[in-house]
Each structure stands twice: as structure tokens, then as C-alpha cells.
């Protein structure tokens, strides 16, 4: 007997705990047991990796429980990768750079995961979908994994769960994880706060040399990479490197005593790509030796803890009926200038705490 939700005459009563055999819906893919999924991730299965990232990025409350169960299982196998952040203005050449750089790393025996977060697209798709097609060779490579992520639930424009997606990729055996984001809003800050080394990509010419310095994001960079050092753009690229080298000397060296360096690359000819990797390795080696590496990761984990607490509190606040009731009137008063925002916030928070 099929359909109508009716079960055949000899079936067991519905109150029994065991699963109903024969007439249950096939389990939807997202309802997979998180521990089974975790083991598949640890075996390096790509579909499991993709599914696990989807699970940690899910905003559903019941998925969060499963995601935490999954992450608890994966955590001992995570943390081993070199985490690189790559940011830069739209069109600077991020995707093209990552394709060429990633292929170079794979040729050297690495396994490379790319998590591309696009804060300018509100959902999966947008220019992000184009990213796989702009890294066609890397997308095909068995030792690479490219994951465009929606920026839903954004944290300064970066997907809130990108930090967890990094852990999942590491547990799946990727020893280099690249987080790519378009440099708009707060996205660079958030990415810089998740990686071991942050590369700021700058386009040559266009009269906007020192654009990164003007925007105050160079302080976040561990390495400034001027792109498109080839053909007609080569002279402008070299000028930009010289300008940045000069300007970067005005900043004090970072905690490890490292000055921020500027180099130029061409993703088309491959020029400078190995130099970027050499500098990256040197800096990471020094950071490991002087304790900076461990301190940076520990600081990042603590900052993430506080971000999660902040986000969680705000979510709870919005879901709170007492606070919502209090807030309705308060917002009107604040907008009309009859109450200061601080006083209104205090009243709303008091209403929240009482609930």
C-alpha cells in the first residue's frame, strides 16, 4: 500500500520508538548522521567535504547541533594547514592569481582548498559562481577543492562560518587553505583575523597607487602583492612595488619584527609566484620559531569566541518578546530625538535581562 499516509493493517503502532520500515521517506541528504559524515570527511571524500561545509554554514538551529557534533569529531584532525587570506579590490586579479598560485603549490605536492567568500553577493551565486569558471584548471585538479560560499549571516562581509569551513577542509587533508574575499567593507579585517598570513593584492596603475594605504588596510597585510606585472602593465607594476616598499617603511614592523614586503607577480606568465611562496614560508617559519604563530592562532580563536557570543546575544535579543516589546516604542523615541540611543539601549537590555 502506498500513499495517503496510511499504513498497512499489520503495521506497528506509531508510538513505537523504532523507525518505521518500508514506508518512511528516504532520508534527505542534509539529515545525514554528523558522525558518519565526519568519518567520510576524514577519509578525504570530496562530496562529504562539500556536504560538511554546507552543514556548518546552515543557519537552521537543528543543523547547528549536527554541525557542532561534526566539528567536535573533526577538531583533532584540524589545524594543520597553512591558512592564507587573499583580498583585493574587484578585478585586481584574485581568482587568476589563486589559480596560478594554487597550481604551482599542487605541482609541489600540496593539497589546496580555496574558500571564496563574496560579500557583494547576498546568496550563493552572483559573481562567486563565476569564480569556479575563472579557476578552470584548479577546479579540475584532484588535489584542489574550490568552495564558493554565500556571505549569508555575514560577519563584516565574510561568512560567519568560514572559520569552521577552514577546520573542515583541514580535517579532509588539505594542507593549504586559501580564503579569498573581495576587498569591500570590513571583509579584509575579518579574513585577516582567520589566517596565518594575509596577502593584499593591488592592481598596478590607474592612478590609485597606494590605494591600500589610503584605505588603512595595509596594516592588516603581511605581504603586498602587485598583480599583472606583464606586458604593457609591467612598468606600472614595478612602480607600484617601489611606491609600496617606500611607503611600507613608514609602518613599524609587525610583532615578529617583520616589515611588510611588496612584490609583483604575473598570473599570466607565472612571474613572482614562487617568490610569494618563499616569503610566505620564511615568515611562517620565523613565526613558528618565535611563538608568534601559536599566539596569533590563539588570539584568533579567542576573538572568534567573543564574536560568537556577541552574535548569539544579538540573536537571542531579537528573539526575545520582552525586549521586542520594549524596543518598538524606544526606536520611535530615539528616531524622534526624544531619547538618547544609550538610554534606550539600556532600557531595552533591562527588559531583555528580566525575561
Ligand X SMILES: Nc1nc2c(ncn2[C@@H]2O[C@H](COP(=O)(O)OP(=O)(O)OP(=O)(O)O)[C@@H](O)[C@H]2O)c(=O)[nH]1
Interacting residues with ligand X (CB under 6 A): 88, 90-96, 127, 134, 182, 227-228, 230-231, 233, 266-268
Q: Quick one: what does residue 227 bind among ligand X, Mg ion, none, with the CB cut-off 5 to 8 Å set by partner type? A: ligand X
Length in residues, the chain: 355
Q: Which of 213, 202, 205, 209 is nearest to 263 (CA)?
A: 202
| Closer by beta carbon to ligand X, 177 or else 182 | 182
Cα–Cα distance measured from residue 301 to residue 80, given in angstroms and rounded to the nearest whole number: 15
DSSP symbol at 145: E
Q: Name the burial class of residue 44, with classes exposed (0-12), middle (13-18) and buried (19+) by CB atoms within 10 angstroms of its CB.
A: middle
Using CB under 5 A, pick the residue from 87, 95, 187, 264 that binds Mg ion: 95
CA–chain centroid gap for 265, Å, is: 24
Contact 55, 90 (CB under 8 A): no
Nearest-angstrom CA–CA distance, 66 and 314: 22
**Whole-angstrom Cα distance, residue 18 to residue 91?**
56
How far is the C-alpha of 67 from the C-alpha of 54, rounded, in Å?
Answer: 9
Nearest distance from residue 267's CB to ligand X, in Å?
A: 4
> Which is nearer to ligand X, 67 or 86 (by Cβ)?
86
Site string for Mg ion, 36-75 (x = CB under 5 A): ----------------------------------------
Considering the rule CB under 5 A, would residue 87 count as an interface residue with Mg ion?
no
Contact indicator for 101, 276 with CB cutoff of 8 Å:
yes
What number of other Cβ atoms are within 10 A of residue 14's Cβ? 7
- Select 247 or 268, whichever has its Cβ closest to Mg ion: 268
**Which CB, 51 or 94, lies closer to Mg ion?**
94
Query: CB 148 → Mg ion: shortest distance, Å?
Result: 10
Residues 6+ apart with CB under 8 A from 44: 172, 173
- Pairing outcome for strands 158-159 and 82-88: unpaired
Residue 93 cell numbers, joined? 586579479
Question: Shortest approach of ligand X to residue 216 CB, angstroms?
Answer: 20
In whole angstroms, the minimum distance from the beta carbon of 179 to Mg ion comes to 13
**Residue 91: contacted member of ligand X, Mg ion, none (CB under 5 to 8 Å, by partner type):** ligand X
Binding-residue total with Mg ion (CB under 5 A): 2
Closest residue to Mg ion, based on beta-carbon distance: 95
Q: Which stretch binds Mg ion (CB under 5 A): 40-48, 71-79, 90-98, 294-302?
A: 90-98
Interface stretch with Mg ion, choices 27-35, 88-96, 144-152, 269-277 (CB under 5 A): 88-96
320, interface contact from Mg ion, ligand X, none, CB < 5-8 Å by kind: none
Contacts of 194 (CB under 8 A, 6+ apart): 83, 85, 158, 162, 163, 166, 179, 300, 304
Q: How far apart are CB 38 and ligand X at their closest, in Å?
A: 32
Contact flag: residue 187 with Mg ion (CB under 5 A): no
- Based on CB atoms, which residue is closest to ligand X, 11 or 120? 120
Q: How far is the CB of 146 from ligand X (least distance, A)?
A: 12
**Rounded least distance, CB 172 to ligand X, Å:** 24
Q: For residue 345, count CB atoms less than 10 angstroms from its CB and return exposed for 0-12, middle for 13-18, buried for 19 or more.
A: middle
Binding positions for Mg ion, rule: CB under 5 A: 94-95
Amino acid at each position: 500500500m502506498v500513499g495517503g499516509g496510511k499504513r498497512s493493517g499489520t503495521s506497528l503502532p506509531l508510538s513505537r520508538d523504532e523507525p518505521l520500515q518500508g514506508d518512511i521517506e528516504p532520508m534527505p541528504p542534509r539529515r545525514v548522521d554528523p558522525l558518519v559524515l565526519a568519518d567520510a570527511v576524514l577519509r578525504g571524500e570530496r562530496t562529504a567535504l562539500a556536504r560538511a561545509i554546507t552543514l556548518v554554514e546552515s543557519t537552521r538551529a537543528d543543523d547547528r547541533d549536527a554541525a557542532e557534533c561534526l566539528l567536535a569529531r573533526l577538531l583533532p584532525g584540524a589545524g594543520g594547514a597553512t591558512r592564507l587570506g587573499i583580498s583585493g579590490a574587484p578585478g585586481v586579479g584574485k581568482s587568476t592569481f589563486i589559480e596560478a598560485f594554487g597550481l604551482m603549490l599542487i605541482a609541489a605536492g600540496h593539497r589546496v582548498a580555496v574558500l571564496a567568500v563574496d560579500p557583494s553577493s547576498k546568496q550563493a551565486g552572483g559573481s562567486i559562481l563565476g569564480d569556479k569558471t575563472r579557476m578552470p584548471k584548479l577546479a579540475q585538479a584532484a588535489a584542489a577543492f574550490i568552495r564558493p560560499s554565500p556571505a549569508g549571516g555575514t560577519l563584516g562581509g565574510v561568512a560567519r562560518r568560514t572559520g569552521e569551513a577552514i577546520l573542515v577542509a583541514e580535517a579532509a587533508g588539505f594542507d593549504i587553505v586559501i580564503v579569498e574575499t573581495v576587498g569591500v567593507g570590513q571583509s579584509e579585517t575579518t579574513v585577516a583575523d582567520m589566517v596565518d598570513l594575509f596577502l593584499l593584492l593591488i592592481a598596478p596603475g590607474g592612478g590609485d597607487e597606494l590605494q591600500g594605504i589610503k584605505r588603512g588596510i595595509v596594516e592588516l597585510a603581511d605581504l603586498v602583492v602587485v598583480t599583472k606585472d606583464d606586458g604593457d602593465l609591467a612598468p606600472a607594476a614595478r612602480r607600484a612595488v617601489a611606491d609600496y616598499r617606500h611607503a611600507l617603511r613608514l609602518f613599524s614592523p609587525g610583532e615578529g619584527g617583520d616589515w611588510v614586503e611588496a612584490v609583483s607577480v604575473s598570473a599570466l606568465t607565472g612571474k613572482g609566484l614562487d617568490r610569494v611562496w618563499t616569503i610566505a614560508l620564511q615568515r611562517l617559519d620565523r613565526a613558528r620559531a618565535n611563538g608568534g604563530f601559536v599566539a596569533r592562532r590563539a588570539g584568533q580563536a579567542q576573538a572568534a569566541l567573543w564574536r560568537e557570543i556577541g552574535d548569539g546575544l544579538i540573536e537571542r535579543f531579537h528573539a526575545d518578546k520582552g525586549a521586542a516589546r520594549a524596543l518598538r516604542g524606544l526606536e520611535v523615541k530615539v528616531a524622534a530625538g526624544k531619547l538618547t540611543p544609550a538610554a534606550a539601549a539600556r532600557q531595552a537590555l533591562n527588559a531583555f535581562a528580566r525575561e
